[in-house]
Amino acid sequence: MPDTTTHGSQARCALLVAFCLALLAVLAAACGGNDGAATKRGELAAALEQPTTITVWTWMPGTPEAVKLFERAHPKIKVEVQNVGQGPPHYQKLRTALKAGRGLPDVVHIELQYIPSFLLTKSLLDLTPYLPEDFLTNYPDWIRRQVHVDGGTYGVPWDTGPVGLIYRRDLLERAGIRTPIETWDEFADAAIAYHKANPKSYLVNLPAGQTGQWLALFWQAGARPFSSDPGNFKVDLTDPKVKRVTEFWDRLYAAGAVSHDADFTDAWFQGFARGRYAGWVSAAWGPVVLQDATVNSKGEWRAQALPQWSRGERVSGNWGGSTLAVLQDTEHPEVATELARWILSEQEPAELFAFEKFLFPARTAMLSNPRWLDRKYPFYGSQAVHRVFADMAGAVDTSWEWPPIFEYVATEGDAILGRSIERGEGATAALQPWQDSIVEYAREQGLEVGGR
């Protein structure tokens, strides 16, 4: 029989050594992780103590006030806020500056739909190393997916635009329309009945060339016409789920039950003031836009959930929304990222944007803030309008992707849809030409275009 005492002692000793080595490894990893986190915090703290000037390009109201709060908290940092244009002019100037390699901001306002376009040109900095590890857990899933691409984080979410319906209660009651309008079938019946009762008025206006609104409606219907991958770019604008939306609205156009006037013009705003439009399929930022432009109907407006394709569903799409991103070429990545994080995450500036500038928040803490949710608006009959759109924010599907050539997609969409609808051919007839144009352009830009 072998000597088990000696072998047992050796085994116990080996196990003890292995345990100690494992424990040392764990401790070393923990200490290393803490040192790494401490180093990052130390680098940021040191950077904030160095006299530094950074530049922000944005058109968002409230930014100068929020920046002053940041400068008060970090007096060594100076921030120059520049408004170089809103929407397309902003992006055109940014593209020009990127191509020239000079005159660039450090931090830039980028709408959600443009992020893949600027990733295609490798213009945006991955903010992951400069943000807290749990940073993105502070946002709903669908918003996280908008900024978290291929393992990188390419913007701090600012505002969003989940879609609902706002309407004139008095006008609908007078026409015998029952509210809330729960399904799109009910909506179609209501639109026809309302126009019959008011031949010079419409339940809503759906502009011929408003790609953002059309895409939000496709989003709600479950269509996913694009992928963001430039190595396997997919586009399918003739998907039955897309056609379900366009054919629905084409029937209402053909019946004369909805108008297709250009939006955000003086005539369009006057249309609400004079009762030409009794409602608006609107994003969450719409109620304030309308409130400021239509004072003569104060107290009569209401908000409700977006009508659903099937009764009992709870699904929305998103129209709009933006971030603060940092350009790859910045010389101050720590400070630039901290500015974006600070003014969009800290309580005082975040509440400034939500309460004083009426931006619809992206951050979960604000979306669930009772003081914000329960705020009542006299223009909307003292309704807590934020609750309606916050509920829609929780119903936006996470799987939507934006095309990496969004500028072209939107420009062509506005033009091709606009022409087709204005000529009376409808939106559905525009889908194949729109798709063909996108595919041709994508291939010209060197994108690999695959099937769905």
pLDDT tens across 337-354, in order?
A: 999 999 999 999 999 999
CA–CA dist 430, 452 (Å, integer): 20
Which regions of the chain carry the CATH code 3.40.190.10? 47-160+320-372, 162-318+377-450
Residue 411 corresponds to which tokens in the numbers above? 């420009």
Three-state DSSP at 310 gives coil
| % of the chain residues with pLDDT over 90 | 87
Q: Distances from the Cα of 338 to the Cαs of 129, 132, 139, 231, 285, in angstroms? A: 11, 10, 17, 32, 26
Q: Nearest CA to 421 among 280, 258, 282?
A: 258
Q: What is the CATH code of the structural domain delimited by 162-318+377-450? A: 3.40.190.10
Q: How many CB atoms lie within 10 A of CB 338?
A: 23
CA–CA dist 73, 412 (Å, integer): 45
- For range 303-308, the mean pLDDT: 98
Kindly compute the dihedral angle of the four CA atoms of residues 253, 259, 262, 264, in this order, to the nearest 10 degrees.
-130
Helices 266-273 and 286-293, interaxial angle, to 10°?
Answer: 80
Contact at 8 Å (CB) between 353 and 157?
A: no
Is the Cα dihedral 195, 198, 201, 203 positive or negative?
negative
Residues 6 or more apart in contact with residue 143 via CB below 8 angstroms: 157, 160, 321, 362
CA–CA dist 341, 129 (Å, integer): 13
pTM of the model: 0.89
Residue 165 CA, distance from chain mean position: 18
CA–CA dist 156, 12 (Å, integer): 54
Q: Is the pLDDT of residue 27 over 60?
A: no
Give the per-residue pLDDT at 295: 86
CA–CA dist 235, 451 (Å, integer): 7
Residue 40 CA, distance from chain mean position: 29
Q: Is the pLDDT of residue 28 over 60?
A: no
CA–CA dist 392, 201 (Å, integer): 27
β strands within 184-260, DSSP E: 233-234
Of 36-45, 130-139, 172-181, 242-251, where does mean pLDDT reach its minimum?
A: 36-45
CA–CA dist 361, 371 (Å, integer): 13
Confidence class for position 292, pLDDT limits 50, 70, 90 = confident
- For range 93-105, the mean pLDDT: 96
Contact at 8 Å (CB) between 377 and 298?
A: no
Q: Is the pLDDT of residue 24 over 70?
A: no
Residue 334 corresponds to which tokens in the numbers above? 């720590």
pLDDT tens across 356-409, in order?
A: 999 999 999 999 999 999 999 999 999 999 999 999 999 999 999 999 999 999
Strand partners, 277: 202
Residue 184 corresponds to which tokens in the numbers above? 């799109």
Q: Cis omega before residue 180 (within 30°)?
A: yes
Q: Is the pLDDT of residue 79 over 60?
A: yes
CA–CA dist 156, 342 (Å, integer): 10
CA–CA dist 316, 393 (Å, integer): 7
Q: Is the pLDDT of residue 20 over 70?
A: no
Q: Nearest CA to 332 among 147, 62, 94, 78?
A: 78
Q: What is the CATH code of the structural domain delimited by 47-160+320-372? A: 3.40.190.10
Read off φ and ψ for residue 218, nearest 5 degrees: -60, -45
Residue 305 corresponds to which tokens in the numbers above? 């959930």
